[in-house]
């Protein structure tokens, strides 16, 4: 009986050992497949990154340029990573919108739309389902590519309703990681101070992230509707009379030229921010302000409007008070309007409204560079 029990125990032990070995083999197989899957995912991500794919959520200098010497081969290339726009018929499309329509929906690679010099009279829409699009103009061209239209907020649209400011835009961009360089956006409507329904937007941008380099924005009222998202404007030219930079975005304007064409009075910026929890605002750094008329630096288009000017040159066109609460006195307590180390006749702060701020370095620091727009996360310049 004892021997039988011992034999039985040995059999059970043997089965247990075999079972453990079997489980170990299963785990080995699982680990092997897990490693293979992980490797495939990593390689796919690297491939997407190298090809401008969906994992490549950043902007580089290369996204803002094309090899102009290789444009002939681009025209014959069926891959269409560079789409040529020439109103004379020597490109892939004679219109900018036609080129945008050629970009595949849910695109995962950077597509550059190179626009030859000329005046393109059209409204253009770049939808959200076409990310990674660049508009690029010719280098060193005095009279380059201009996309222009003439529509104002009081115009009647195809639905029988007024377009509104939003719908008046010559170019509207909702595409994420959109770029533009060396071109001009224009709305040719001429607004006058106090006029009704004369808002005419040259560009409306509500990309999650976008960059504009050496771009011109031409208009009179609400020229640049910097609507929503996080954006970087570098060495751009922005012109208008009234609120010619407006919106709810978080944007850095660095080294830009702001030109007023006001006849009598106007305003440069109008930022919309309703709560202190919104991480938005306009920061102007190393910009120059010149032109005509008498203009405010900014107007409070919301209780917590936020506009900062740092190291900017201001001509004598700035209204001495500098800022206005837009007929909402309560906003004096909540809006953040500030200046830091600006210069020029218009930078004299002795007559500024009491509720604006002359910032210290520590107060200005969060607004002084690309960290204001979390540039380290999406700009590789």
Same domain, 309 and 371: yes
The per-residue pLDDT for 93 is: 97
Q: Are 234 and 263 in contact (CB under 8 A)?
A: no
Same domain, 71 and 99: yes
* Number of domains making up the chain: 2
Residue 55 domain-assigned?
Answer: no
Spatial CA neighbour of 228 closest among 294, 268, 172, 182: 172
Residue 166 domain-assigned?
Answer: yes
- The pair of structure tokens assigned to 364 is 């200005």
Residue 94 domain-assigned?
Answer: yes
Same domain, 35 and 74: no
Same domain, 296 and 338: yes
Q: Return all residues near 3 (Cβ < 8 A) that are at least 6 apart.
A: none
**Whether residue 101 lies in the annotated active site:** no
CATH number of the CATH domain containing 245: 2.160.20.10
86, 222, 226, 227: the catalytic one is 222
Same domain, 266 and 311: yes
Spatial CA neighbour of 334 closest among 273, 248, 254, 255: 273
Residue 147 domain-assigned?
Answer: yes
> Mind spelling out the 3-state secondary structure of the chain?
CHHHHHHHHHHHHHHHHHHHHHHHHHHHHHHHHHHHHHHHHHHHHHHHHHCCCCCCCCEEHHHHCCCHHHHHHHHHCCCCCEEEECCCCCCCECCHHHHHHHCCCCCCCCEEEEECCEEEECCEEECCCCCCEEEEECCCCCCCEEEEECCCCCCECCCCCECHHHHCCCEEECCCCEEEECEEEEECCCCCCCCCCCCCCCEEECCCEEEEECCEEECCECCEEECCCEEEEECCEEEECEEEEEECCEEEEECCEEEEEEEEEEEEEEECCCCCCCCCEEEEECCEEEEEEEEEEEEECCCCCEEEEECCEECCCECCCCEECCCCHHHHHCCEEEEECCECHHHCCCCCCCCCEECCHHHHHHHCCHHHHCHHHHEEC
Same domain, 22 and 152: no
Same domain, 159 and 213: yes
Same domain, 25 and 64: no
- The pair of structure tokens assigned to 298 is 């900014």
Spatial CA neighbour of 107 closest among 89, 123, 128: 128
**Whether residue 222 lies in the annotated active site:** yes
The per-residue pLDDT for 56 is: 77
What are the pLDDT tens digits along the chain (381 aa)? 444 444 444 444 444 444 444 545 555 555 655 554 555 444 444 444 444 444 579 999 999 999 998 887 776 666 689 999 999 999 999 999 999 999 999 999 999 999 999 999 999 999 999 999 999 999 988 789 999 999 999 999 999 999 999 999 999 999 999 999 999 999 999 987 777 999 999 999 999 999 999 999 999 999 999 999 999 999 999 999 999 999 999 999 999 999 999 999 999 999 999 999 999 999 999 999 999 999 999 999 999 999 999 999 999 999 999 999 999 999 999 999 999 999 999 999 999 999 999 999 999 999 999 999 999 999 999
Residue 294 domain-assigned?
Answer: yes
- The pair of structure tokens assigned to 91 is 């490109």
63, 86, 227, 243: the catalytic one is 243
Same domain, 96 and 199: yes
- β-pairing, 336-340 with 313-314? unpaired
The per-residue pLDDT for 25 is: 59
Can you give the pTM of this predicted structure? Answer: 0.86
Same domain, 364 and 299: yes
Q: Note down the domain range covering 7.
A: 1-50
Could you identify the residue written with the tokens 């910009």? 287
Same domain, 70 and 213: yes
Same domain, 42 and 147: no
Q: How far apart are CA 324 and CA 329, in angstroms?
A: 9
């Amino acid at each position: 009986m004892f021997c039988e029990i011992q034999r039985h125990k040995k059999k059970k032990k043997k089965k247990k050992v075999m079972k453990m070995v079997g489980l170990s083999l299963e785990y080995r197989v699982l680990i092997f497949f897990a490693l293979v899957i992980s490797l495939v995912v990593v390689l796919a991500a690297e491939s997407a990154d190298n090809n401008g794919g969906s994992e490549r959520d950043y902007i580089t200098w290369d996204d803002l340029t094309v090899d102009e010497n290789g444009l002939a081969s681009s025209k014959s290339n069926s891959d269409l990573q560079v789409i040529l726009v020439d109103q004379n018929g020597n490109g892939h499309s004679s219109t900018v919108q036609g080129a945008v329509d050629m970009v595949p929906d849910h695109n995962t690679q950077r597509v550059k739309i190179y626009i030859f010099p000329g005046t393109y009279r059209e409204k253009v829409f770049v939808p959200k389902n076409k990310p990674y699009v660049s508009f690029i103009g010719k280098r060193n061209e005095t009279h380059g590519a201009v996309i222009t239209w003439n529509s104002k907020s009081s115009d009647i649209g195809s639905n029988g309703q007024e377009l509104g400011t939003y719908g008046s835009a010559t170019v509207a961009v909702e595409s994420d990681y959109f770029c533009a360089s060396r071109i001009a956006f224009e709305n040719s409507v001429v607004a006058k101070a106090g006029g009704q329904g004369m808002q005419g937007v040259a560009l409306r941008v509500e990309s999650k992230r976008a960059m504009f380099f050496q771009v011109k924005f031409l208009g009179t009222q609400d020229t640049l509707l910097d609507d929503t998202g996080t954006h970087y404007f570098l060495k751009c030219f922005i012109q208008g009379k009234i609120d010619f930079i407006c919106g709810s975005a978080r944007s850095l304007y660095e080294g830009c030229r702001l030109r007023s064409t006001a006849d009598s009075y106007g305003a440069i910026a109008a930022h919309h921010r309703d709560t202190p929890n919104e991480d938005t605002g306009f920061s102007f750094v190393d910009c120059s302000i010149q032109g005509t008329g008498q203009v405010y630096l900014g107007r409070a288009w919301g209780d917590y409007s936020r506009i900062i000017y740092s190291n900017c040159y201001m001509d004598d066109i700035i209204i001495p008070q500098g800022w206005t609460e837009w007929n909402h006195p309560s906003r004096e307590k909540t809006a953040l309007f500030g200046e830091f180390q600006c210069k020029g006749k218009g930078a004299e702060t002795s007559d500024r409204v009491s509720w604006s701020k002359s910032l210290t370095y520590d107060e200005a620091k969060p607004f002084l560079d690309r960290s204001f727009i979390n540039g380290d996360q999406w700009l590789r310049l």
